[in-house]
Structure 1
Amino acid sequence: MDPHSFLYSAVLLLVVAAVSVTLFRHFGLGTILGLLVTGIIVGPHTPGPFVTTEVDSVRQFTEIGVVMLLFLIGLEMKPKRLWSLRRMLFGLGSMQVLLCTVAIAGYFRLFYPQWETPILLGASFALSSTAIVIQMLRDKGEVASEHGQAAFAVLLLQDLAVVPLLALIPVIAGVHSSAPSDSLGVRLGMAAVMVLLVLACGHYLVPRALDYLARRKHHEAFFLTALAAMFVAALAMDKAGMSMALGAFLMGMMLSTSRYSLQIEASMEPHKGLLMSLFFVAVGMSVDLAALAQHPFAFAGHVLAIIVIKIVILFALCLAFGIGIASATKIAFLLSQGGEFGFVVFGAGKALGVVDDASFVTAIGVISVTMLLTPMLAKVGVWLAARHLRSRGLGLNDPQWTSEIERAAPRVLIAGYGRVGHTVGTILGSSGIPYVAFDNEAALVDQWRTEGHPVFYGDICNRELLRSAAMQAVELVVLTIDDGASAVRAATLIRSVAPQVQIVARAGNLATCDALRRAGVNQAYPEALEASLRLAAHSLEALGIANDDTEMLLRGLRTSDYGMVRDGPEALDKP
């Protein structure tokens, strides 16, 4: 690509996205809708300048963002937690796919003389958008809510349903019709093998590789290895004819029990945000307004029918599976759109002659427009749910299924778990105060985790790590880092990310103590000076000075900011 052309496209995309997202967020419509509209504006199907005509290629590339999103969801989803969702996964999810396929196929049978195309349309439109729904749930912090967990279970089953759906296309088209069962059997067998390989690598191989790199402080190689593991798992699922996002999720889930899970999540998060934004733009670019305008009423009828069918079936199924009316309403509206995998299915169907050109354009348009409507549909679902709860005099929050860190609800974060951090953690634990600790020494983390301490591998100077679930309920941060410059950097970052928390810190000397206070630390203790003061206090007590007088003297020294000793060697040390 010509560098000038690339620069022009980048400037056009960034300017339009900045304006659109700002406006849509200002009016409370959300970032995703702004990005989708950005895609429509800069796409090749609207008048004016456009970014590219290779929409399919762009969309396929940006699906890496969906892969990364599911990998991060997997890092938050322990295997035990997934097992607890088995009823929703295999019960609610499978019934949703089957019933929506039948109902939507029945609707499209009204427009086609044969069943082949309606069946493919029904099975494809039964799927929902993992990318949009999971991103919306993460943005609102609702992945762990009742409706978030049920919606995730349905989406995961839809990803599993991709294998029989892809095998169904050549059967419908009459390709290899002599042995369709063998074709399906081979696909299912390969899928099972790939799933087992991904699970085995995620449990045994990848954690050992990460441990090796972390112990040698190869931070760049650590990140690249985690990234490679995610893409290898995605590629394995793709080769088996399954969703790449499913492979990434499984790898993330296996790494969720690792002591490196939070650091991996913090490293991936910024890249995921950029790629997901490009994915939503690419979806918007897929909307061909001119083609859809040729039959506007028929197209609008298809969009409305699919949304209504999915809402009705999902709502009824949720109630049948014991989900409350409010959560069922949220789930039904949240999953009422078409899914990004439909782009792949319809492309394959078109190549085999199951879908003609006109049906292909309409199907792609329906998926894109229903995705475009999702933020507004979700708002309608939330409004209806809130109205129902208010009518019954109930609150608006769902029950929560929480992760390991969230379940503990740590009130204290300890940065550095050496001898000082371990002492603080032990005292907090014995007092019944939940805490979480981070250290960048892999061997140290391994040692204390084997003894049951809530210690994770991570760099406290990583901004994304501080924004993770570990920081959400933290009231106090204890900095025990022995390097003064690193402690000051950490304190500055923590204060910028979480201005409301209290910060107490260990300091090597008075100069570091002063620097930490300037960085936003509420209280810093120069350990060498404090040890000297305790030694002096015991000396006075040994010489007959009353204990109360000694403690009063120490309190006076601390209150005066160690004024009596500031002219000594302690004050001359550099931080």
Structure 2
Amino acid sequence: MTEAIWIFFAFTLGLLARSAGLPPLVGYLIAGFVLNSLASQFGLPAESSEMLDHLAHLGVLLLLFTVGLKLKFRSIFRPEVIGGGLAHFAITCLVFVPGLYLFLGLGGMEALMLAIALSFSSTVLAAKVLESKQELRAFHGRVAIGILIVQDLIALVVMSLTAGHTPSIYALLVFALPLLRPLLFRLMDATGHDELLVLLGLMLALAVGGIGFEMVGLSSELGALLVGALLAKHPRAVELSNSLWSVKEVFLVGFFLQIGMNGLPDDHALLFAVVAACLLPLKGLLFFFLLLAFRLRSRSSFLSSLLLTNYSEFGLILASVALPQWLVPLALTVALSFILSAPINRLAHPLYARMSRYIDPLESSKRHPDEQPISLGSTRVLIIGMGRTGTAAYDELRDTEPHLMGLDSDPARLKGHREAGRHVFFADAEDFNFWQTLNMPHLEAVILCLHDIEGKKIAARKLRERGFKGFIASHTLHVDEVPQILEAGADNAYLTMNETGVALAGHVQQKLSLPLRGVPTES
């Protein structure tokens, strides 16, 4: 009965949030607080049950595992990631500790722990936002996720020290994890495409990454992330991530419900949460200027800092270990930051478009290596988005069109294309500055193979605004997206699955028109 009521409230308020233009997770958070406030009337427990806590934990592990599947370690060991993450953590603590000590009258250690809890940003929210917009592999997404991983590692170290125990000697076995990669790859190859693939993902995320790391005194969250990252280079990593999508989403509902059900806030908790929410712009500005200092462009700095302008679920985990008296105020603070951050991130690109003329002059004249401007030179045909569809289009054209170029926002993907002899460069189709500085004197045709509908619309619109008169073709999986793409400026939008069916039928017709083997043709 209790579980049915949880599901009812989560669905109802999630649907209302979606109807209001907010992500459903905002509704789940509100549902948790509503359930807590109505607990006595419905006869429910005042706090989240052990089962809900367990489901919430599984949801976080699966989310981090799927993030790991799309993660490249070399994207973490970058100056802007390590330097930006550590600098922001240090400055935040230096500012917050004296403020909490003076204004709230806290002791030195309590002020330090609370400052650390407030310095973190939400991995769950950022991953959800990036995943929904298909920007996990975009440059600003990789920077944000990298900084969040640095913060999570700091949180794990602090929790270990606070709890008074250190990892066992067997924790050193973590450094041997790369040796398991060949075995894991073989398991991936042997599981096929059905339920065994889902079970393999659950086993690796929850058993190997979760329980395995806990047994040696390490964080299960870190374990799920690292095990996922081991599989990131496998050709079917994306398929595994997609197969776990629905399971992960259901469990994450429990995570957001759990936050709201941790306790009812009093006036002091509400005041603390409101003041902390008012400080969020300062948190975002600090990230923005730090990333600018590492030569990121204003657009990348802006989008990354928006993703990081919130408070973290890791702050709640830290509070449960070191600051139990602050758990409810921090839960309300995190929930309020989610409510503010989620809709702002949904409008991140339009917000940058409006503010670009004010913040673009702030960027360094020296560009980050991954954000160098692109000149199309003699290119006649341009393919934007070099995934499976874009690669197939490139390979079909490469023998007949010598002036061919591909663009993609995933540096790891670029390396593979260049090793295969393809002429592919880094660029983000949703980067307004990219279109403003693009030189395309000989361009005659563009093929849009991006996953995100917004990216296709922006690319088509910007091409037309730059005076491009050539042919623009796009692929899409959904009928309702066709008129939007055409309205943005494309000449044609082809339904990918329809085109696949036509191509298959063409192959069959070609075979049927040929004589059967061993049967002579009539003269």
- Tell whether the structures are fold-level matches, with TM greater than 0.5: yes
1:452 Cα shift?
7.5
Give the whole-Å Cα distance in 1 for the aligned partners of 2:179 and 2:43. 45
Whether the aligned pair in 2 keeps the contact of 1:326 and 1:389 (CA below 8 Å) is yes
Paired letter, 2:495: Q
Paired letter, 2:70: E
Which residue of structure 2 aligns with residue 25 of structure 1?
18
Which residue of structure 1 aligns with residue 179 of structure 2?
200
Paired letter, 1:344: I
Which residue of structure 2 aligns with residue 348 of structure 1?
321
Whether the aligned pair in 2 keeps the contact of 1:163 and 1:187 (CA below 8 Å) is no
Give the 5 Å matches for 1:284-433. 284-286=260-262, 288=264, 291-293=265-267, 296-305=270-279, 307-350=280-323, 357=325, 359-378=326-345, 384-389=351-356, 408-411=386-389
Unaligned 5+ segments in structure 2 are 362-367, 373-383, 407-418, 423-448, 457-476, 482-493
Whether the aligned pair in 1 keeps the contact of 2:97 and 2:111 (CA below 8 Å) is yes
Give the 5 Å matches for 1:174-253. 186-187=166-167, 191=171, 193-201=172-180, 203-214=181-192, 219-231=194-206, 232-253=208-229
Which residue of structure 2 aligns with residue 501 of structure 1?
496
1:400 Cα shift?
8.5
Which residue of structure 2 aligns with residue 108 of structure 1?
100
Whether the aligned pair in 1 keeps the contact of 2:97 and 2:112 (CA below 8 Å) is yes
1:33 Cα shift?
1.4
Paired letter, 1:266: N
Change (3 A) 1:78 1:367: closer
Structure whose CA Rg is larger:
1
Give the whole-Å Cα distance in 1 for the aligned partners of 2:212 and 2:480. 38
Paired residues, number: 431
Which residue of structure 2 aligns with residue 485 of structure 1?
none
1:152 Cα shift?
0.7
Deviations 1:96-117 (A, max 9, x none): 2222222222221121352010
Matched, 1:59 2:53: yes
1:239 Cα shift?
4.1
TM-score by length of 1: 0.63
Which residue of structure 1 aligns with residue 459 of structure 2?
none
Give the whole-Å Cα distance in 2 for the aligned partners of 1:471 and 1:535. 46
Unaligned 5+ segments in structure 1 are 176-182, 415-423, 436-450, 455-468, 476-493, 506-515, 544-575
Paired letter, 2:199: L
Matched, 1:161 2:128: no
Q: Equivalent residue of 1:266, what SS?
A: helix
Matched, 1:531 2:514: yes
Q: Equivalent residue of 1:531, what SS?
A: coil
Change (3 A) 1:37 1:52: same
Change (3 A) 1:392 1:130: closer
Deviations 1:192-229 (A, max 9, x none): x253243332x132222333444xx8x44443233212
Q: Equivalent residue of 2:508, what SS?
A: strand
Paired letter, 2:66: L
Give the whole-Å Cα distance in 1 for the aligned partners of 2:90 and 2:276. 19
Give the whole-Å Cα distance in 2 for the aligned partners of 1:425 and 1:151. 31
Give the whole-Å Cα distance in 2 for the aligned partners of 1:129 and 1:361. 17
Whether the aligned pair in 2 keeps the contact of 1:79 and 1:254 (CA below 8 Å) is no
Paired letter, 1:206: L
Whether the aligned pair in 2 keeps the contact of 1:206 and 1:229 (CA below 8 Å) is no
Whether the aligned pair in 2 keeps the contact of 1:71 and 1:248 (CA below 8 Å) is yes
Matched, 1:148 2:141: yes
Which residue of structure 2 aligns with residue 87 of structure 1?
79
Deviations 1:426-471 (A, max 9, x none): 8777567999xxxxxxxxxxxxxxx9799xxxxxxxxxxxxxx997
Give the whole-Å Cα distance in 1 for the aligned partners of 2:96 and 2:255. 27
Change (3 A) 1:123 1:239: farther
Give the whole-Å Cα distance in 1 for the aligned partners of 2:339 and 2:215. 30
1:132 Cα shift?
1.0
1:321 Cα shift?
1.6
Which residue of structure 2 aligns with residue 137 of structure 1?
130
1:169 Cα shift?
1.8
1:282 Cα shift?
2.1
Change (3 A) 1:504 1:340: closer
Give the whole-Å Cα distance in 2 for the aligned partners of 1:145 and 1:169. 36
In structure 2, which of residues 21, 30, 34 is the aligned counterpart of residue 37 of structure 1? 30
Give the whole-Å Cα distance in 1 for the aligned partners of 2:354 and 2:308. 20
Which residue of structure 1 aligns with residue 474 of structure 2?
none
1:238 Cα shift?
3.5
Whether the aligned pair in 1 keeps the contact of 2:72 and 2:232 (CA below 8 Å) is yes
Q: Equivalent residue of 2:9, what SS?
A: helix
Moved more, 112-121 or 276-285: 276-285
Give the whole-Å Cα distance in 1 for the aligned partners of 2:398 and 2:274. 60
Whether the aligned pair in 1 keeps the contact of 2:46 and 2:261 (CA below 8 Å) is no
Give the whole-Å Cα distance in 1 for the aligned partners of 2:249 and 2:240. 15
